[in-house]
């Protein structure tokens, strides 16, 4: 490395146009492509290898600033430290930034909006708040365990997916050169030896809020201003599946007759499903219709997209009610209909758009039972609003008794 320093002047740097490399001394060089394309570089030798670090374009970095940076790099060398390694360490992303870069590189290949939203939600503040600010190279097994342990038994499916997603992000970081060594989130031969066996969820069962708590919950829900709150309330009042709600389009609604027709392609059973809207449910969509900005009743933040499938789940979490699932409100409706009303079972099953087997239920399916279902949904709305709580509902009158 040259010992003489400050060989260049601002006038010379501005005037030089011949392509090449000009030394300012002490490892600082000006690289010239033409009079308008000049940049700074710091060259140094470490062991048997020469290294070069770009310091930026001359248009952005003055001669004085380039000398200042070069001086700091010489100081690192004098301490036995590698300037490039130190710079890489400074530029290394934290876990949150690494997640963003990983998702940016992967999302183009993901067609499912729900899949994207789930990745962002699980790797966000809800579960990973403790590790998001940490440099990705510093994420340890202990850090991963601190994230997973609180939910490992309580939310086994979520915990398992989260572990796998952290593993993918850390693999991405290693491929980009931001991490060394083994993956702190890998299961086989590593976390498997530390975490207890997971409890498996029983398929088909969803944690349902007891229907007795729903009137109070609806009261709280109506105080929330988020669009997800309106979507969740609408979903509760209609006993619809969450996918049917967040994907709802205005073309599916007849606001005059108060009927929402979910097309076959959006139904689990592959058949169109008419939903009679109670006065409360209709009031929600009419209010949203007045300020509509999209073909979707519940539009997302990005143009042309619906509300994220995880928005209602995140709302439950903010309301400290995430021990229950969105889907569980359908179960609560079914329990209420069986316990608190005299409506036939077939009517409640038709309201849920469940596949039916026997001849009686099949007849309800063919006839649609729209009038009977409307009475049931009005009674359910009255219960949810607290006006019919504790009353047995009669099919014949549709009123409390």
- Structure-token pair, residue 40: 């700074």
pLDDT score of 254 more than 90? yes
Mean pLDDT of 314-329: 91
What is the mean pLDDT of the segment spanning 238-253?
93
Residue 389's pLDDT band (cuts 50, 70, 90):
very low
pLDDT score for 266: 85
Q: Which of 167, 170, 158, 206 is nearest to 326 (CA)?
A: 206
For the residues 18-27, what does the mean pLDDT come to? 92
Greater model confidence, 95 or 86: 95
Q: How confident is the model at residue 190 (pLDDT cuts 50, 70, 90)?
A: very high
For the ranges 66-80, 95-109, 221-235, the one whose mean pLDDT is highest: 221-235
Q: For residue 40, what are the β-bridge partners?
A: 30, 56
- Which whole number is the average pLDDT over 296-310? 87
Of 93-102, 252-261, 312-321, 332-341, the range with the lowest mean pLDDT is 332-341
Domain with CATH 1.10.443.10 in the chain: 211-384
Tell me the average pLDDT across 190-212: 72
Nearest-angstrom CA–CA distance, 152 and 144: 12
- Cα distance between residue 234 and residue 316, in whole Å: 14
pLDDT, position 102: 92
Give the gyration radius of the chain's Cα atoms.
Answer: 31
CB crowding 346-356: b at 16 or more within 10 Å, else e: bbbbbbbbbeb
The CATH 3.30.160.390 portion of the chain extends over 10-91
**pLDDT of 186:** 92
Beta bridge partners of 253: 260
Structure pTM? 0.49
pLDDT digits (tens, 9 = 90+) for 105-135: 887 776 666 677 888 889 998 899 999 999 9
**What tokens appear for 120 in the block?**
């962002």
Domain with CATH 1.10.150.130 in the chain: 95-193
Per CATH, domain 95-193 is 1.10.150.130 = yes
Query: In this model, does residue 2 exceed pLDDT 50?
Result: no
Mean pLDDT of 179-188: 90
Token pair 């989130």 in the structure block, residue = 185
State residue 392's pLDDT score: 43
Q: Residue 397 has which token pair? A: 């009158």
- For domain 10-91, give the CATH superfamily: Integrase, DNA-binding domain (3.30.160.390)
Q: What is the pLDDT of residue 204?
A: 45
- The pLDDT mean for the chain works out to 85
**pLDDT higher than threshold 70 for residue 292:** yes
Tell me what pLDDT residue 83 has: 85
The most confident of 190-199, 231-240, 264-273, 342-351, by mean pLDDT? 231-240
CATH code for the part of the protein at 211-384: 1.10.443.10
**% of residues, the chain, pLDDT over 70:** 88
Confidence of residue 48 (pLDDT cuts 50, 70, 90): confident
Cα gap 325→113, rounded to integer Å:
19
* Mean pLDDT lowest among 66-75, 258-267, 305-314, 388-397: 388-397
pLDDT value, residue 354:
79
Note the pLDDT of residue 56: 86
At 35, the pLDDT band (50, 70, 90 cuts) reads confident
């Amino acid at each position: 490395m040259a010992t003489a320093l400050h060989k260049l002047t601002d006038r010379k740097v501005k005037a030089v146009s011949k392509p090449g490399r000009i030394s300012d001394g002490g490892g600082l060089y000006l690289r010239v492509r033409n009079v308008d394309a000049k940049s700074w570089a710091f060259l140094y030798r470490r062991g048997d290898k020469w290294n070069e670090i770009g310091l930026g374009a001359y248009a952005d970095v003055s001669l004085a600033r380039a000398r200042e940076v070069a001086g700091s790099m010489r100081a690192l060398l004098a301490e036995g430290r590698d300037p490039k390694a130190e710079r890489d360490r400074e530029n290394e992303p934290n876990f949150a930034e690494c997640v963003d870069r990983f998702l940016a590189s992967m999302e183009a290949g993901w067609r499912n909006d729900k899949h994207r939203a789930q990745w962002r939600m699980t790797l966000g503040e809800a579960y990973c708040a403790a590790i998001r600010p940490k440099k990705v190279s510093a994420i340890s097994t202990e850090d991963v365990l601190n994230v997973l342990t609180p939910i490992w038994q309580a939310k086994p499916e979520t915990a398992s997916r989260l572990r796998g997603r952290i593993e993918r992000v850390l693999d991405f970081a290693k491929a980009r050169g931001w991490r060394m060594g083994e993956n702190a989130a890998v299961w086989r031969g590593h976390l498997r030896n530390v975490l207890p066996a997971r409890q498996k969820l029983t398929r088909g069962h969803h944690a349902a809020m007891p229907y007795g708590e729903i009137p109070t919950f609806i009261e709280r829900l109506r105080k929330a201003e988020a669009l997800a709150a309106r979507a969740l309330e609408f979903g509760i009042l209609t006993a619809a599946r969450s996918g049917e709600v967040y994907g709802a389009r205005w073309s599916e609604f007849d606001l005059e007759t108060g009927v929402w027709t979910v097309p076959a392609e959006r139904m689990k059973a592959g058949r169109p499903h008419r939903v009679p809207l109670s006065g409360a449910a209709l009031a929600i969509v009419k209010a949203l219709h007045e300020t509509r900005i999209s073909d979707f009743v519940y539009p997302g933040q990005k143009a042309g997209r619906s509300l994220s499938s995880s928005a209602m789940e995140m709302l439950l979490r903010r309301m400290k009610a995430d021990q229950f699932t969105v889907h569980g409100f359908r179960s609560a409706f079914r329990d209420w209909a069986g316990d608190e009303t005299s409506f036939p079972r077939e009517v409640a099953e038709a309201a849920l758009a469940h596949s039916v087997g026997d001849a009686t239920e099949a007849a309800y399916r063919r006839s649609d039972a729209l009038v009977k279902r409307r009475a049931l949904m009005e009674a359910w709305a009255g219960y949810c609003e607290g006006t019919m709580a504790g009353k047995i509902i009669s099919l014949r009158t549709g009123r409390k008794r």
